[in-house]
Chains A and B, each alone.
Chain A
Amino acid sequence: MVKDNKKSYKKTASSTPKSLNFKNKILKIWNNKINQLLIKFVGLIILFYILWASRFFQEGVVIPLSKFYAQISGSILQAVGYSVKVVEESLATDSFAISIENGCDGIEGLAIFWIGVIIFPTAKKDKFYALLIGTLFLMFLNLFRIISLYWFKVHIPSLFELMHVSVWQVLFISLTLFTLLFWMDWTNKKKHINEQSITN
């Protein structure tokens, strides 16, 4: 009886067209929730980079944001006693100037965080607060990055390049990722507590 069943199974499997098997495999991959999230994440990141490379985005978002960071960090530095001038998106002194360019504007970190929050399956209210608080946190973090880099340029110039490239670039992306992971974990726990209270 068991043998017969096996035979009939083999027969149906071999008679299935290859395209249908391929379609089933794709469906199987897509039906996995983690795969769905990863595919959406990668797709949206590609879309972000296409948008980011456009002149419209560079002129309409990147430059104004860089100028905003320069203004705020310049004001903070002036308030604590540094004689710094803000020129467009640069912080200048008599001996040097640091320019806030692509990569130092924190846009990539924001994009990772926003995409992660938007695609994560949870309540809209939670997403809204995450976007609001997360954006503020990442912008504050970027301000801290700019001010700390200025500090290094003034006091320990030999470490500026190391801090700029090896430390802050990775620190910013990792802190974005860890914030996202903490938030995902928090929403999951909240969901489980809610489910438990409903069953009780």
Chain B
Amino acid sequence: MNNQLLIKRIGLFFLLYFSFVLLAQTSKGKEKLAQYYCWLGNTFVSTYYNGGNISYRPITKKEQAKFKDFDVLVFMTSEQQIESAKKQARLARKKTIDITPVHYPANSWVKMGIFFAFFFSLVICTPINWRQKLLSVFIGFILLSALVSFQFWIAVGSNINQYQEIFSAGFQNESIIFLIKKLNIIIQFMGFGLVTALIIWMVLCFKKVEVARTI
């Protein structure tokens, strides 16, 4: 590949990436990212092994001061926790039950948006035709969404085991718990998502680029 062409493509990459960053910083961009992030969580990881229940919702405007931009809230309960609360309410002859779900914030930009922005910029600046670009963007979008869902699953698995006493749910096997915790350290790391996006780009686009043809 011509060096000048490579420099032009790199310039285009940075232009595209920073445009995506700016787009995400708008209030509409933040809202859409948080919505999609919650949708992924609620669609694919709303229940967890052995009775865990998980729900995701965007931060409201009132709560915004307490959280960072792009944050969403993850709520964790379990069927066992609800049953135990019902039992206690019956014993105390109460008509309502008290459940305190564990909740924590997750950042939709750090855990998802940045990977998409990086991947889309890489694909669009790659010297391949538009049909191939569109196909790569589509496949990459699905694969990265699967990665984000898997990240949810691992994070929830790791967190639910931390609160075994409250939830009485999650995995019981020590080896599986150890594996999930280790995997959680790797997979929650932002660099891992970026490297995965890079690998997906390589697999989808690298073969079609002139640099690769000369190998």
Contact = CB atoms under 8 A, between A and B. Distances in A.
Contact of A177 (B198, B203, B207, B215): B198
A169 B206 contact: no
B114 A53 contact: no
Interface string B191-206: 1101100110011001
A181 B1 CA distance: 10
Interface stretch (B28-36, B75-83, B84-92, B182-190): B182-190
A52 B191 CA distance: 12
B109 interface: yes
Contacts of A102: 189, 191
B195 A165 contact: no
B182 A169 contact: no
Contacts of B195: 45, 108, 112, 173
A187 to B, nearest CB: 10
**Chief secondary structure at chain A's binding surface:** helix
A181 B7 CA distance: 11
A61 interface: no
Contact of A166 (B21, B199, B215): B21
B97 interface: no
B6 interface: yes
Contact of B211 (A41, A49, A52, A184): A184
A133 interface: no
Nearest to A32: B207
B109 to A, nearest CB: 7
A167 B114 CA distance: 10
A192 B1 CA distance: 13
Interface residues of A, number: 33
B114 A37 contact: no
Interface in B105-164: 109-110, 114, 117-118
A30 interface: no
A56 interface: no
B10 interface: yes
B211 A166 contact: no
Contacts of A52: 186
Interface string A47-68: 0010011000000000000000
B190 A103 contact: yes
Given A108-B191, A169-B191, A34 B207 contact: yes
The 8 closest A-B pairs by CB, nearest first: A108-B191, A188-B214, A166-B21, A49-B186, A34-B207, A53-B186, A173-B194, A53-B185
Interface of B: 1, 3, 6, 10, 13-14, 17, 21, 68, 109-110, 114, 117-118, 182, 185-186, 189-192, 194-195, 198-199, 202-203, 206-207, 211-212, 214-215
Interface of A: 33-34, 37-38, 41-42, 45, 49, 52-53, 102-103, 108, 112, 120-121, 161-162, 165-167, 169-170, 173-174, 177-178, 181-182, 184-185, 188, 192
19 contacts: A34-B206, A34-B207, A38-B203, A53-B185, A53-B186, A102-B191, A112-B195, A121-B215, A162-B21, A169-B194, A170-B194, A173-B191, A173-B194, A174-B10, A174-B13, A174-B118, A185-B3, A185-B211, A188-B215
Given A52-B186, A170-B118, A185-B6, 5 more contacts: A102-B189, A169-B191, A174-B17, A188-B214, A192-B214
